[in-house]
Structure 1
Amino acid sequence: MKTYISMLRGINVSGQKKIKMADLRAMFEAAGYSNVRSYVQSGNVIFDADSEDSAAVTAAIEAAIMETFGFDVSVFLRDAGDFRRILDGNPYLSRAGVDPKRLYVTFLRSTPAAELVENTEVPAGSSDEFTVEGDLVYLHCPSGYGTTKLSNTFFERKLAMPATTRNWNTINALNKMASDT
């Protein structure tokens, strides 16, 4: 049995792709997953699966969402070990004066091509910064995510793939929930 954390992209935002978390949990259970829990309304689900094949689990969840709710949603799946590495790997966390409330992680569908990463720069005049580590982008947005140009859409466009972003508090909460199984 393996514990996974799934993060759905773009549900319950501005009234679009509305899914009640109770309905989402029920869908996961109907799909055969166990110990299903959700965190906040943005589509974070922690669950256990018999499969070690994360690509197959991702595809099954995306298909179940389409069948159950009638719309396409990108699902980003990581396991509990991945989340511990995410927490340990944040390059901004140990810096003096960095407020953890201004840290974010963007999850990418896969590791982007090196030339795309090299051609992605912080817009001029911004104090925001980012670091791409494999299929993750660590963000430090001193003025907050609401004002940054380094949005989810920015990285999807620049790195040519779907992405979803979570704040540092959510990353910590999901890690704790996955560890408490």
Structure 2
Amino acid sequence: MTTTYAALLRGINVGGNRKVPMAELRRLLQELGHGAVRTYLNSGNAVFTSASGDQDALAADLSAALEKHFGFTVACMVRDGAYLRSVLDACPFPADDLAGKQLHATFFSGPAVTAERFASLDPAAYLPEEFRLGDQVLYLYAPGGLGTSQLGAALSRPALLKGVEATSRNWNTVKALVEMTEAARA
């Protein structure tokens, strides 16, 4: 039995640095034995099927293959389609009423991200921006977009994310990855 996954690569193809062409990412995933490989945009999103049920091992294998091929480390997270669907369905904000650039999901590498980690932030100081925590995900409402979000910048401070990898996607990308994983299962 195979499972459909999305791979979320952190910090590639930004500002001309750490280039990972999507054609090469697809080829690496195929060489790792995965099927139905597709990529979305040029920012490190891939969907694939695998017989493995170990998301962490899949992420580690992909990260190692990327480092061997490109010569630099790329943090990777792998999440199955059912999890991505649950992230979409559990959104605490009125996603259907918002533009995709106003809502973001930050995915974490582990479950150790709790409200205590962000207790030093005063939510009222960032209004109308808001965030909510979910299962290994942080939902961020940034009406002006992530590029100008003061709350987004505060949430990504290294002291708050110590010991955990994080990568963000706008809501349009989250929806597209859910659609792609569901289409691959059909």
TM-score by length of 1: 0.91
Sort the Cα spacing of 1:125 and 1:174 in 2 relative to 1 into closer, same or farther, 3 A: closer
1:29-70 CA-partner distances (Å, limit 9, x unpaired): 111111100000001000001100111111111111111111
Query: Residue 166 of structure 1 aligns with which residue?
Result: 169
Query: Residue 68 of structure 2 aligns with which residue?
Result: 67
1:19 is displaced (CA, Å) by: 1.0
Q: Which amino acid counterpart does residue 177 of structure 1 have in structure 2?
A: M
Q: Which amino acid counterpart does residue 104 of structure 1 have in structure 2?
A: H
Where structure 2 has 5 or more consecutive residues not aligned to the other structure, the ranges are none
1:165 and 1:39 map into 2 onto residues whose CA distance is 14
Sort the Cα spacing of 1:127 and 1:121 in 2 relative to 1 into closer, same or farther, 3 A: same
Query: Residue 16 of structure 1 aligns with which residue?
Result: 17
Query: Residue 108 of structure 2 aligns with which residue?
Result: 108
Q: Which amino acid counterpart does residue 89 of structure 1 have in structure 2?
A: A
| RMSD between aligned residues | 1.9
Where structure 1 has 5 or more consecutive residues not aligned to the other structure, the ranges are none
Q: Which amino acid counterpart does residue 50 of structure 1 have in structure 2?
A: A
1:113 is displaced (CA, Å) by: 4.4
Q: Which amino acid counterpart does residue 87 of structure 1 have in structure 2?
A: L
1:115 is displaced (CA, Å) by: 2.3
1:54-109 CA-partner distances (Å, limit 9, x unpaired): 111111111111111111011011100011101101000269x6444411100111
Contact 2:55 2:78 in 1 (8 A): yes
Q: Percent identity?
A: 36
Contact 1:46 1:177 in 2 (8 A): yes
Query: Residue 34 of structure 2 aligns with which residue?
Result: 33
Q: Would you say how many aligned residue pairs link Structure 1 and Structure 2? A: 180
1:142 is displaced (CA, Å) by: 1.1
Sort the Cα spacing of 1:83 and 1:126 in 2 relative to 1 into closer, same or farther, 3 A: same
1:1-181 counterparts in 2 under 5 A? 1-93=2-94, 98-111=98-111, 112-122=113-123, 124-151=125-152, 154-155=155-156, 157=158, 158-160=160-162, 161-181=164-184
1:114 is displaced (CA, Å) by: 4.5
